[in-house]
Structure 1
Amino acid sequence: MPLRPTPRPRQAATGLQGTLEAGRKAFAEARFDRARACFETILKSAPTHAESHVYLSRIAWETGDAAQSVAQLERVAALSPDSPRAQLALAERYGQVGETEKALAAYDRATALSPAKSIAPQAEKARFLQALGRFEEAAAIFRKLIKRHPGEAELYSIFLGGTRLPKGDPVLRQMRKLWADKTLPETKRMHLGFALAKALDDTGDPDKAMAVLDRANAIQKSLAPYDRAARDSDWLAMRDAQADADLTPPQGRMTPRPVIVCGLPRSGTTLVEQIIGRHDHARAGGEMGHILRVAVRQFEREGVMTPLSQIPAPERATYAATVARLMTRDTGATEGVVTDKSIRNFQMLGWIRAMLPEARIVIVTRDPRAVALSMWRNHFQIGTHRYANDWADIADEIKRFRAIIAYWKGRMPGVIHEVRYEDLVSEPEPVARALLEHVGLEWQDRVLDAAATKGTVQTLSLAQVRAPISHARREAWRRYETRMAPFIAAWGDETWD
């Protein structure tokens, strides 16, 4: 008879579990050195412990070591050759570091390892293809998935983010049929609604599109209610943490050099970022989020941010170095300019000015009616932009943004460069030239060439930024002006400009 494996002593098993729990806790608290030591200790006695390799990959990623993060996930995939989950994690990381073909191959392996009815591997591959601008390949995958899974409403939402449906398209007919199904769960109806509305609008039926959007937004509002008071409190706390600080920029260099592009969702920040990112000496980082995330990790205590004025120079230097390392991780840039268009950066402009050497700040503004309509027409991840599902809340958020920018302009005169979206799409070259001059880059014609867009684009504007700039987008909101009456009423007498 075959030999039975000798059981490990109970004490040893208990010791491993204790070390594992200590490592998990340290990771959750962002004590990465402590967490790394725990998982490396486990691997000395149990080298095939896959969870420890997963955590070491996450630690490497959080500390800016992209190569080690990939290597650890490759180890996990080798230890779990039959795991589609391991391949999906590896595919995502390959995509993040620009290993496009390796990412696509890993998605294919995940698909091959998954049950025949599994949706996620193919849907994630199609989403990745969209981010790369390979819309036809993505569409082919989505159409096959929708044909096999017509009731999966989120598929339509992702698919329509990268394509326009013609009249009579079978996918549009299927969406109409599903929308009429009274048994459709509300969450699925929400996803379907945003997709169906886009298709109806694309095929020339804006009134029906807006009626569908009213329903979809009402559902999302019920799933993620908005608290204006909490929003105000959040901004005031962030402002107070910067209120009495000296906003003189720090001496020295930061490599790569950050350019912060701020604006409300759907205001044109992606277009502005891509204009900069197409330059030979620049990379577009997208919504990286490091400025706030590292600040919270390093300086927040019991939910309260350390006042900027009380942070000593050595800690500021550590903060800037950490942000730079993570920007390099996300973009591969070790020099030149890197853009960050994270939404909440506009609340931290004083922090950015005082903490990040050589940082430049760009604000993007757009007609509030165009911003409001675009918010209303697009689905945001639940909980991220709670104000975007109510016309009055949208008006309140745009006014808050304006007030915050006016505050920072007053605190830092001449520091902030403003780009009006309407001016950019009407006269792209002079606006783009002024933009590049502000961020410290020489003019290159390629910055206005949509085909020169590099890498992936991970925002709702992934299709628009790969198309030529068009002034036709300037006042598209006028087609919906009567349906926007609640927003216009909530806006009141404040000027639009």
Structure 2
Amino acid sequence: MQTNPLHAVKTAYDKALALSRQGDVAQAAGLLDGLALQTPNLPEIHFQRARLAARLGDQDKRLSSIDRALELRPSEPAILTEAIAAHSLAGHHDTVLSLFDRLIALNPKAIKPQAEKALYLQTAGRFDDSENLLRKLQKKHPYDAELYRMLATTIRIQPNDPMIGAMRRLANHPKLSPQGRMHINFALAKAMEDTKTTAKVFPHLKIANKAQAELWPDDPNTRNAERDGVLAAQKGLAQIAESSGTDPALIFVTGLPRSGTTLAEQIIASHSKVHAGGEMATALRTAYDLFGAGAEMRPLANEPQDRLKDFATRLNSAIHPFANPAKTHLTDKSIMAYLIYGLLHATLPNARFIVVHRDPRDIALSIYKNHFSAGTHRYANDLAAIAEVIKSFRQIIAHWRDTLPDRFAEVRYEDLVSDPETQSKHLIAAAGLDWEDQCLNFHEKGGTVKTLSLHQVRQPIYKSSAAAWRRYETDLQPFIDAWGDTPWD
């Protein structure tokens, strides 16, 4: 009995997807590679090959596969979206913007792809184009509060900007949703700060953070259990033998949100041997996948050596999509990586660890002023909770300072902005690299930046944000009270 070729292809395709769901990505990818040779004109196969290649860290295969899928089915939204993600990671700005235009053309009335294009223009450093697009969208959609917040975060609003009046009208709209109330009040707080109407900043911030807290409530017990469980799991962990680390070598740049980690990363990434990975989040995810997540993490000192070596191997694969093959080092500024510094130190002998500190009052102010991705940093909505998180962070860093014998360095944001040359040299040395003068001109580098601080890192180092908390000392009193008698430095 003759087998139907299309039926055989579908059977193999379904098996590949099932293997992928079960976590056997390499075998799934192998099956799809064979199908791509057998039936090269099926876009679904190339689309799935691209997605699996991303998980395996094969950026070249991801790009070639998604481009082939797009060639075969140029108007499929899912394929266009995956192509945007792949080329964004590769830093192909012109290609990404062209893909956004194709996606927008499929549904010109949809707000989301146009807003995402505006955000990508910011990532690419084209702030004027981004502003023009967002203002155009605002005129068409005057009741979309998120558009105002997007624009407010990346421009300095002037007192006569008609956007202020539009935002005030929207803030008082009786049918404004909780999300809308959050977005518009964050935007109005920024407008009041830009126009030096300081007394009105915190009233808007309180409304914004209250709405955000209602949408994504904080759970300090869960947060503390994760911290304590992960730290306890690393007790007694010694450096494993015969580990070569990752290629490229990782430079972890960690600190609390809004502490200056983006500035530090961009200075280091201006070095000819370094590529900026940004907030990759690969290290903690890999650790949780292998050893248990958060409070459930198993004691690592009891884990077999091969299991710890497997962590380094898997992490090496996970970072490849973020790396530049021409660079020997890759920065990772994932916020939570500091939780597993013990594991990273033990398994990655070529890794470096840099911690950025900043005045806790400035960190608290900046965290409270900013909207983070939905559901992340839930403590950010409460000044007393922010105080507890900062104190916890400092205690953990003190532990690593005493525990890690080498490759660990610290820098203060205030020192970096007041004496950039000396502190930049300190950063480059801490990264294990020789000094290059171009590291002082990081703002001229260009490239892709994905962070709330992306506008600042396109500028030379400036001091205006240091001690900004003094303008809001009365409003910050709940934070100061919760800080208690803990030293500020």
Q: Is the 8 A contact 1:26 1:34 kept in 2?
A: yes
Gaps of 5+ in 2: none
TM-score norm. by structure 1 comes to 0.91
Match of 2:250 among 240, 258, 261: 258
Match of 1:298 among 290, 294, 300: 290
1:198 aligns with 2:190: yes
1:345 aligns with 2:347: no
| 3-state SS of 1:483 partner | coil
| 3-state SS of 1:71 partner | helix
CA distance in 1, matches of 2:377, 2:487: 24
Match of 2:472 among 480, 484, 487: 480
CA RMSD for the aligned pairs? 2.6
Q: Is the 8 A contact 2:355 2:411 kept in 1?
A: yes
CA distance in 1, matches of 2:158, 2:241: 52
Match of 2:448 among 447, 451, 456: 456
Match of 1:61 among 48, 54, 59: 54
CA distance in 1, matches of 2:285, 2:162: 44
Match of 2:101 among 108, 113, 117: 108
Q: Is the 8 A contact 1:277 1:454 kept in 2?
A: no
| 3-state SS of 2:373 partner | coil
Deviations 1:59-93 (A, max 9, x none): 10111111111122223323322234422321221
Q: Is the 8 A contact 2:243 2:309 kept in 1?
A: no
| 3-state SS of 1:188 partner | helix
> Which sits farther off after the overlay, 199-208 or 115-124?
115-124
Percent identity between matched residues is 38
1:211 shift after superposition: 0.6
Match of 1:320 among 312, 322, 325: 312
Q: Is the 8 A contact 2:26 2:56 kept in 1?
A: no
* Number of aligned residue pairs: 488
1:141 shift after superposition: 1.0
1:456 shift after superposition: 0.9
Indicate the residue corresponding to 1:416 in structure 2: 408
Letter in 2 for 1:55: Q
CA distance in 1, matches of 2:18, 2:202: 47
Q: Is the 8 A contact 2:209 2:381 kept in 1?
A: yes
TM-score norm. by structure 2 comes to 0.93
| 3-state SS of 1:139 partner | helix
Deviations 1:182-209 (A, max 9, x none): 2111111111221221122111112212
Go from structure 1 to structure 2 and tell me whether the alpha carbon gap of 1:51 and 1:476 turns closer, same or farther (over 3 Å shift): same
1:318 shift after superposition: 3.9
1:88 aligns with 2:81: yes
Match of 1:330 among 322, 330, 342: 322
Letter in 2 for 1:69: R
Structural mapping, 1:57-456, within 5 Å: 57-112=50-105, 114-247=106-239, 252=244, 254-300=246-292, 304-413=296-405, 415-456=407-448
Letter in 2 for 1:116: P
Match of 1:36 among 29, 39, 44: 29
Gaps of 5+ in 1: 1-8
1:423 shift after superposition: 1.1
Q: Is the 8 A contact 1:250 1:355 kept in 2?
A: no
1:35 shift after superposition: 2.8
Letter in 2 for 1:140: N
Letter in 2 for 1:148: K
Letter in 2 for 1:53: H
